[in-house]
């Protein structure tokens, strides 16, 4: 019996010994995706977010990047982000590839703090300006509260989830909500069970005609009386506005890379 315990302990430590180097290699293989020049995160938070960005990005074959900076020249954070993409050349499987970038600028000249997102290539298609605006609206309250790690986690998870839907589909549609789907299924099941239970008691076959003698029944008298005619007129308004179809940003970097975008303050 004692020999079994010793053998089990040896096997446990051997497996642990073999796993630690593998975990270290995985951590070392993670590409840097978090550039926190504004020091909004602790080193531990930065490492956790970088690992998360690599993990979620691999599933969508897209680099999920975060850039934080105190200020940029002329407050032109869109051009600054474009220049970063051109010069750093991120991309999941190749330089200048699939990338979505979240840029945080802490000190604008007017005293505001700005949040900006851009999507390139696959991210431009699956994270268009409308979806980027949805992401920005979801993380802005956390940014305003100074909960940057939570905001960045929400950005990575939401961008990952949105890229699982085909373009031109509202990913926040309640029909895609798992709890709504479960509730709808339960309601349909309850209705089906109720109908079966109702029918199991037998149908009522007696109605108003069951005891009616049609040979002796009939209409005794009929009379129509005209009262008046009323005509109502309603003006139909014409829609003269041409409409612009949906807002959103986007552009092309100086290096010729097209992207979607969304900007705001927090």
CB-CB contact of 83 with 61 (8 Å): no
- What is the token pair recorded at 107? 């000190």
Report yes or no on 244 lying in a domain. Answer: no
Q: Number of structural domains, the chain?
A: 2
Report yes or no on 188 lying in a domain. Answer: no
- What is the token pair recorded at 51? 């690992």
Can you state the percent helix, strand and coil of the chain, rounding each to 5?
Answer: 45, 15, 40
Residues 107 and 10 in one domain: no
Report yes or no on 236 lying in a domain. Answer: no
| Confidence class for position 229, pLDDT limits 50, 70, 90 | very low
Token match 């790690």: residue?
Answer: 149
Predicted confidence at residue 175, as pLDDT, reads 75
Report yes or no on 204 lying in a domain. Answer: no
pLDDT tens-place string over residues 16-32 = 444 434 333 344 579 99
Between these two residues, 109 and 234, which has the higher pLDDT value?
109
Residues 76 and 90 in one domain: yes
Report yes or no on 59 lying in a domain. Answer: yes
pLDDT tens-place string over residues 143-165 = 999 999 999 999 999 999 999 99
Report yes or no on 94 lying in a domain. Answer: yes
CB-CB contact of 203 with 167 (8 Å): no
Rounded mean pLDDT, 230-249: 41
Comparing 16-20, 72-76, 184-188, 230-234, which segment has the lowest mean pLDDT?
A: 16-20
pLDDT tens-place string over residues 96-139 = 999 999 999 999 989 999 999 999 999 999 999 999 999 999 99
- What is the token pair recorded at 167? 């373009």
Helix (H, G, I), strand (E, B) or coil at 234: coil
Residues 65 and 18 in one domain: no
Alpha carbon distance 56, 239 (integer Å): 46
Predicted confidence at residue 249, as pLDDT, reads 79
Residues 75 and 24 in one domain: no
Q: Which residues of 4-39 are buried (b: 16+ CB within 10 A; e: fewer)?
A: eeeeeeeeeeeeeeeeeeeeeeeeeebeebbbbebe
First vs last C-alpha separation in the chain? 65
pLDDT tens-place string over residues 170-184 = 999 887 555 344 444
- Would the pLDDT of 71 be above 60? yes
Cβ neighbours of residue 34 closer than 8 Å, sequence gap 6 or more: 41, 46, 49, 50, 53, 65, 66, 152
Report yes or no on 228 lying in a domain. Answer: no
Alpha carbon distance 177, 167 (integer Å): 17
Predicted confidence at residue 181, as pLDDT, reads 45
Residues 141 and 260 in one domain: yes
Report yes or no on 184 lying in a domain. Answer: no
Domain that holds residue 149: 32-175+249-265
Most confident of 27-41, 93-107, 238-252: 93-107
């Amino acid at each position: 019996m004692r020999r079994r315990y010793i053998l089990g302990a040896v096997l446990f430590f051997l497996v642990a010994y073999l796993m630690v180097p593998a975990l270290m290699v995985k951590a070392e293989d993670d590409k840097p995706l978090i550039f926190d020049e504004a020091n909004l995160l602790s080193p531990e938070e930065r490492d956790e977010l970088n690992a998360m960005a690599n993990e979620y990005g691999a599933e969508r074959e897209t680099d999920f990047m975060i850039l934080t900076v105190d200020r940029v020249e002329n407050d032109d954070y869109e051009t600054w982000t474009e220049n970063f993409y051109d010069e750093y050349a991120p991309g999941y499987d190749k330089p200048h590839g699939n990338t979505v970038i979240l840029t945080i600028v802490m000190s604008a000249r007017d005293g505001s703090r700005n949040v900006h997102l851009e999507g390139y290539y696959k991210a431009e298609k699956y994270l268009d300006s409308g979806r980027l605006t949805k992401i920005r609206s979801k993380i802005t309250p956390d940014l305003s509260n100074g909960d940057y790690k939570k905001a960045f986690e929400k950005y990575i998870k939401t961008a990952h989830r949105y890229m699982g839907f085909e373009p031109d589909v509202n990913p926040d549609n309640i029909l895609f909500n798992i709890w709504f789907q479960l509730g709808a299924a339960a309601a349909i099941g309850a209705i089906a069970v109720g109908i079966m239970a109702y029918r199991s008691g037998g149908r009522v076959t007696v109605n108003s005609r069951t005891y009616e003698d049609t040979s002796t029944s009939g209409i005794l008298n009929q009379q129509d009386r005209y009262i008046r005619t009323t005509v109502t007129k309603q003006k139909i308004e014409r829609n003269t506005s041409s409409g612009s179809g949906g807002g959103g940003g986007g552009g092309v970097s100086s290096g010729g890379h097209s992207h979607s975008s969304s900007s705001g303050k927090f």
